[in-house]
Chain A
């Protein structure tokens, strides 16, 4: 990558004050946020490997079949838990802390405890993965780790809750930005949800249908009250910041937040459509799902209208590419989810690959892509280095975006027809298995593309963390004149 040796100019006094405040805030976040990010990327790679092994086993069951530690029943929960508690949680917590510091304009507090939480959280995931691989999973989906591990996560979530409150109390801004509301949703609701969920099923206080109800109420709320608020907070901050254009309709954004807050916790029971539960519980879940049209539409209008006139920037900004991809996916997955909750749709789609495609549209296409975008924006500001390779960023974007699209299309198609065939008692089950096989192979291929993207991203993160040969004071760090690039070769 070429460098231009132009010395930075001294900014005007008030500009310098704003700049200095931002640099101080970023510096205070450096150790903790980078710790969370580096760990998240490591778990992403491990989660991808587990995903690939699981996927291959779906069409070639004999693959690595002699090793009991990686049989399907163990490696599949390892994939789920490493990407949820390893990648998604750690990248989300890192982004949350940075965003809160930026939005409150205060330095990150407790800078000795917070880096320790990175180690504690990692230890929890390692312990949990070991237990699952050793065959000691609890068997409760999304909560397979033993209760002690879940207790470790609970402790870190309480620290996060405390730190968020402290920063908010000491904030130096008059206005509470919409992203702050979403982040509060995440750090306040998730510990409550999490405690409730681990209390019941893992302590054996309930069983049977009640267990399943709590389980799916929890699993769906992880998406809506933990992951989605972090993703939307990031999008609401980064699209305006990157484009330099405020949100199209601020009051719609607030309406969307409160509508999400009021309706989301109802909807988990739509996972149990057709199950042995009182009909009114499931109907309530369906009503909540349809009510989600309100917040989703506000978000969709806002994101699209903010981007109007700025779409050309998708060519020039890596952050914007990933974040806008995530934003569009959010709209798609949410509308799809609302419709999927309907009994008539669930009648076909339930217990098929269609649901798996939908889950990946949410957790990957929306959340993960958004978090990739967040890291492209935040990491250079924390390390004071620039990303080392444009081609690697492009490889990362195209392999992951096309990979997840191919994944989604193939499994949605296969899943729908699988559902139609399973509803016809005249079709033998093995025929349905044979029908889905080519699509399962295509999943392994698209998953491989996504993994290639993750490896490219891991190389970029590794290089920027160990101080690559070029540091930059230019468009991303923005110390001086509008839009003027200023590069300098780093002193050896």
Chain B
């Protein structure tokens, strides 16, 4: 049972610390500085905000 505890708590620590490390990395690299730009980063000139990109075959989106 000790081995199980060690493994589970070790992994939980690894998961938690990886998340904290990623958070620190994100803040340092300015990922949290402009939320609007972040939300719009998946759009571009050709598929801009406001343009739907899916419809049933033969239908208008």
Interface residues of chain A, those whose CB is within 8 Å of chain B, are 1-2, 11, 14-19, 22, 102-103, 173-179, 181, 184-185, 188-189, 192-193, 196, 199-200, 205-206, 209-210, 213-214, 217, 225, 237, 240-247, 250-251, 254, 258, 261-262, 264-266, 313, 316-320, 376-377, 386-390, 393, 470, 472, 475-476, 478, 482-483, 485, 487
CB neighbours of A386 from chain B (8 A): 57
Do A205 and B3 touch (CB < 8 A)?
yes
Question: Chain A residues with Cβ under 8 A from B32's Cβ?
Answer: 251, 254
| Chain A nearest Cβ from B16, distance in angstroms | 6
CA distance A262 to B22 in the complex (A): 12
| Contact present for A22 and B46 (CB under 8 Å) | yes
Report the bound CA distance from A199 to B4 in whole Å.
11
Decide: A176 and B15 in contact? CB cutoff 8 A.
no
Asked if A200 and B42 sit within 8 Å, CB to CB, the answer is no
B residues 33-49 touching A (CB-CB < 8 Å): 34-49
Instruction: Please name the residue on chain B nearest to A254 by beta carbon.
Output: B32
Known: A184-B22, A246-B40. A313 touches B52 (CB 8 A): yes
Which single member of A247, A254, A376 contacts B54 (CB below 8 Å)?
Answer: A376
Determine chain B's interface SS by DSSP, over half rule.
loop
- How many chain B residues touch A (CB < 8 A): the figure is 47
- Chain A neighbourhood of B51, CB < 8 A: 244, 478, 482-483
Complex-state Cα separation, A19 to B46, whole angstroms: 6
A246-B45 Cα distance, complex, nearest whole Å: 15
In contact, A317 and B36 (Cβ under 8 angstroms):
no
CB-contacts of B3-53 with A (<8 A): 3-4, 7-8, 10-12, 14-16, 18-19, 22-23, 26, 29, 31-32, 34-53
Please, which residue of chain A has its CB at the minimum distance from the CB of B18?
A188
**B60 close to A316 (CB less than 8 A):** yes
From A174, A242, A265, give the contact of B52 (CB < 8 A).
Answer: A242
Q: Cβ of A258: which chain B residues have Cβ within 8 Å of it? A: 19, 23
**Pair B12/A266 contact, Cβ less than 8 Å:** yes
Flag if B42 contacts A193 (CB, 8 Å): no
Q: Closest Cβ of chain A: how far from B35's Cβ, in Å? A: 4
Bound complex: CA A376 to CA B55 (Å) = 10
